[in-house]
């Protein structure tokens, strides 16, 4: 999960104001199992352009910081 965040939502780790946005919650079910909840605020860049009176939305490539490019997602 952290590799994904480093590659795709790196600003959550780099920006001190966003670092507390990743949340974990663990529920103890019994002595053999737990439920783990992970909340990550995901964003996606979309570019909207008007052409001939119509709006077109295109998903933009996300930036990856050079120091994280070698990590698996």
Per residue in 2-13, pLDDT (tens digit) is 888 887 788 888
The answer to whether 6 and 71 are in contact (CB under 8 A) is yes
pTM exceeds 0.85: no
Of 63 and 4, more confident: 4
pLDDT (tens digit per residue) in 1-44:
888 888 778 888 888 998 889 999 999 999 999 999 999 988 88
Of 13 and 67, more confident: 13
To which residue do tokens 């930036």 refer? 63
- For residue 45, what are its two tokens? 């860049």
Q: Dihedrals φ, ψ of 59, to 5°?
A: -75, 125
């Amino acid at each position: 999960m952290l590799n994904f965040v480093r590659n795709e939502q790196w600003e959550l780790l780099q920006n001190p104001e966003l670092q507390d946005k990743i949340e974990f919650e663990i529920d103890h079910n019994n002595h053999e199992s737990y439920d783990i909840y992970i909340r990550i605020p995901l964003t996606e860049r979309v570019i909207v352009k008007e052409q001939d009176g119509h709006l077109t939305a295109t998903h933009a490539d996300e930036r990856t910081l050079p120091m994280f490019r070698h990590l698996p997602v």
